Every structure is written in structure tokens, then in C-alpha cells.
Structure 1
Amino acid sequence: MERRTYLRSLGVAGVAGLAGCLDTVEQALSDDHDGDGILPPPDRPTGASYPEYGDEFPSFSLPDPIAETTVSLEDFVGEKPFLLTYFFTTCPDGACPALLLRLRWIQEDAAERGYEDDIALLAFTFDPERDTPDVLREYAAERSIDYEADNWHFLRPETYEEAESVMTETFNLPLQRVEDEEDREEQNESEENDSHDETEDHEEASEHDEHDHGEYTFTHNNLITLVNEDGVVERAYPSAVQSERAVDNEQIVEDTRTVVGVE
């Protein structure tokens, strides 16, 4: 399938919405979700606020600045599964490049096994001030990502305020932009104090990684989400990199093959 043919099939508008997320593990794994997933329930559900196994993924509509189109949830529901991760290009500690590397592995596996038209790979930047279209092109080329392929989309809001709103209100993911060293020290002290209260708080704090670059940095989740063609979350890999809870790299590829229906 040529990219221009694929792009004609994409809608140019979508309905933005809030994530209908569940607050407890019991709710997330209730009978209401039985049969929604292709994969079996995960061994270690977290009960996090962001969409997890069995949840409907929230509606979104975001620009792809390279393809010069708008990508929406509705473009994939009923058509194909997708994976989504969240990053910024100036991350210097290796976490964000590692997230995109996992999507690149799936892109390569899809090309080798012939399911490249049956999966979409989405990379959302929450730093549009620095992640311009030219920067995204260069970033992808440096990492051997085929950003011109039918199945790859960079998602980039026009402003940081829009990106923050999408992250926190639509995807229900924490995001904090820290402007200077003093603010970073206060944030670190606050997180350290909170993590001593309960073991669960400590584990949740371990899912966030602070990135230091330039005049500001971010605290955010290292998350990859796998959504089936019905728009239902199959897996939310919460500590995809740099954590004792990090998912096995090959497992993400195997899960994707299963959801797509590749033997």
C-alpha cells in the first residue's frame, strides 16, 4: 500500500475526549471486560489511572507534521491495531530512544513477516517547541526508523500547552515540565518523601524518569500501549525501559504478532 493511498483513508478530524479510565484493579479486570481482549489478562495489573487491559482507549485527534495530516483513534478502530508511546527527542538518558527502538523493532518485524499494513506505530512528542518536523525527521533517520512508511506516525501538537492537556486529560498520564535546577531539586525531594510513605508509592515513583536537557526537563512515564483493532487496550507496558519491572523486549513483539493475528 502506498503512503498516499493510506493517507486518503485517514480522517482529517477526530473527536477529542477524556480517558474513561478505571480507578482500581478490580474494576479493570471485572466481568464487564471479559472477552474484550485477544491476549490473556496480565500477570501484574497495576490499577493505574491510564488505560490498561480491557479499557477502551480514549479518542484523540493529533497532527502528523511529516505526513501533513491528522491522525485519530477513529482511523484505526475497525481497521488495525496500533502501538503508542510518548517521548521527546532531547532526552539524553536513553529512555525515550529506547521506547522508540521497541517500536522500530516491531516495524522491522512487520516488514519481515508481511504485516506492515496491519499495524500502526504512533510516537507522541510532548515537546513541540524543540521537536519540530525537521528535528523529528532527523531523529528518525538517526535511529533507522522508516518515518515515511505507511505504518509510522509522529504525533505533535502545536504547543506545549496542548501537549500537556492531551497527556494529562486525554491519556491520563502524568507530565511535569521542570524549568530550572531549583525546581528539579524541589521535585526530587517531594518524590523522595512521597515514596517513603508506602511500598506502592515507591513502585509508582519508579515508573517516572527525569530527563535533563537545556533550559527545562520533563518527568513522565516510560509507557508503551498496545491497542487492538476494536480500540481496546491489550497491554500497557508501564516501565518499558530502565526498570526491574521492564517488559521483556521480545514479549512486546510477540504480543503484537498475536494481536495482529500473525502466526
Structure 2
Amino acid sequence: LSYPAYGQPLPAFELTDPIADITIDSEALNRTALVTGVFTFCPVECSILLRRLVGVQHRIAEAGLTDETLFLPITFDPERDDEAQLRRNAETIGVDLAAGNWHYLRPESPERAKTVVQERLGIGFERTTERSRIEGYDFTHLVVTLLVNPDGVVERAYRGERIDRERVADDVSTVVEAFADR
């Protein structure tokens, strides 16, 4: 597995945001986007990453770039991450859903999640029952966030959940500014 690197196109996908009841087409973003794979029951990595992305969302708002930026966390656990759970997660971590730039994307099945998140985006994950940190099942997974320009080309790939909010917000601003005159 390998995720897209600098200069490579974001792989094509169409997924639904069940909260906003819209479909996002990766080939028609026309905005700077941060794309990652998560599951909201994740007690550590995803929780840290999502909270840090909320910090980026706030910094982007302060910079006046809300309308030019999308946040697209894609769940690879559609069985548990339904609309109600995604909405609870947004409230818990402080997502500004009213800003209209944060879209939890939910594949319609575990198979579709595997196709989009793992096979296309290269963000590997595996369902397991061998760990006891959460009830039922868990996932071992890679933590990668992609910064994508309005043309759908990857500008950065951030590894790990402890992304630097300031750096990511600065990188987003740089990409937005580079595409502002088009």
C-alpha cells in the first residue's frame, strides 16, 4: 500500500456526508482539502487527529479561508459511524458544522470503505478483535492526512495523529493563495 505523494492526483471517489445529506466527488472539489481516514470509536489516534484538525478548522476561519477549504474525514467503520454517531463526534470534539466546510464522509458498506480508504487512498486498516481497548472490534490502521489543492493534486501528506496545527493551517493558506488568482 502507498498513499498518494506530492504531485500525484487524489484518487477518484464519490462519498456521502450523511449529516449534510450531500455527495462529495473528489474529482470536483475545486477547493483546498484535507482528506484522511478515521473511525470515531478510535480511542487514541483518530481522536487526537480529529481534534487537531478542528484546531486547523478554527485557524482557517480566523484567516478568512473557510469558503476555500474542505475537511474530509472518511470513516472506514460505516457500521458504527452512522449519522447520529458522526454528529455526536462533531459535538464532542468541537467541529463547526455550521461553517459548511467539514464533511464526514461515510461509505455505504465496509467493502466500499476498503475500496476507497485502503485501496485507492492507500490508508491501510484492518479490523481486529484481538485488542481490548474498545468493545466489540477495533482497527489497526495507518494515520495519514492528505493536503489536496483545488485541482485535485496532493501537495502534502502528513503522517501520524499529532499534526502541527499551525504548520497545516499555514500550508493550507499557502495552497489557497497559490490558487486564488485562477
Contact 2:74-2:117 at 8 Å conserved across structures: no
Shift of 1:148: 3.3
Asked if residue 221 in structure 1 is aligned to residue 142 in structure 2, the reply is yes
CA–CA distance in 2 between the matches of 1:212 and 1:156?
Answer: 23
Which one scores higher on RCO, CA 8 angstroms, separation ≥ 6?
2
Q: Counterparts of 1:43-58 in structure 2 under 5 Å?
A: 49-58=2-11
Shift of 1:126: 0.6
- How many residues matched? 178
Partner of 2:19: 66
Q: CA separation of 1:212/1:162 partners in 2, compared to 1, >3 Å: closer, same or farther?
A: farther
Amino acid at match of 2:32: P
Shift of 1:102: 2.3
Shift of 1:169: 1.7
Shift of 1:59: 0.9
Partner of 1:111: 61
CA–CA distance in 1 between the matches of 2:85 and 2:2?
Answer: 31
Runs of 5+ consecutive residues of structure 2 not aligned to the other structure: none
User: Which one of 157, 161, 167 corresponds to residue 251 of structure 1?
Assistant: 167
Partner of 2:80: 130
CA–CA distance in 2 between the matches of 1:64 and 1:249?
Answer: 24
Amino acid at match of 1:142: T
Larger radius of gyration: 1
Q: Deviations over 1:53-81 (max 9, x none)?
A: 111111110011011111111231xx211
Q: Deviations over 1:203-226 (max 9, x none)?
A: xxxxxxxx8311111011111110
Q: Structure 1 length normalisation: TM-score?
A: 0.64
Which sits farther off after the overlay, 54-63 or 249-258? 249-258
Asked if residue 160 in structure 1 is aligned to residue 110 in structure 2, the reply is yes
Asked if residue 235 in structure 1 is aligned to residue 156 in structure 2, the reply is yes
Shift of 1:149: 2.4
Q: Deviations over 1:82-140 (max 9, x none)?
A: 001211111112x1112112221221112212111011111111111111101111110
Shift of 1:239: 2.0
RMSD, aligned CA: 1.7
Q: Structure 2 length normalisation: TM-score?
A: 0.90
Identity of matched residues, %: 44
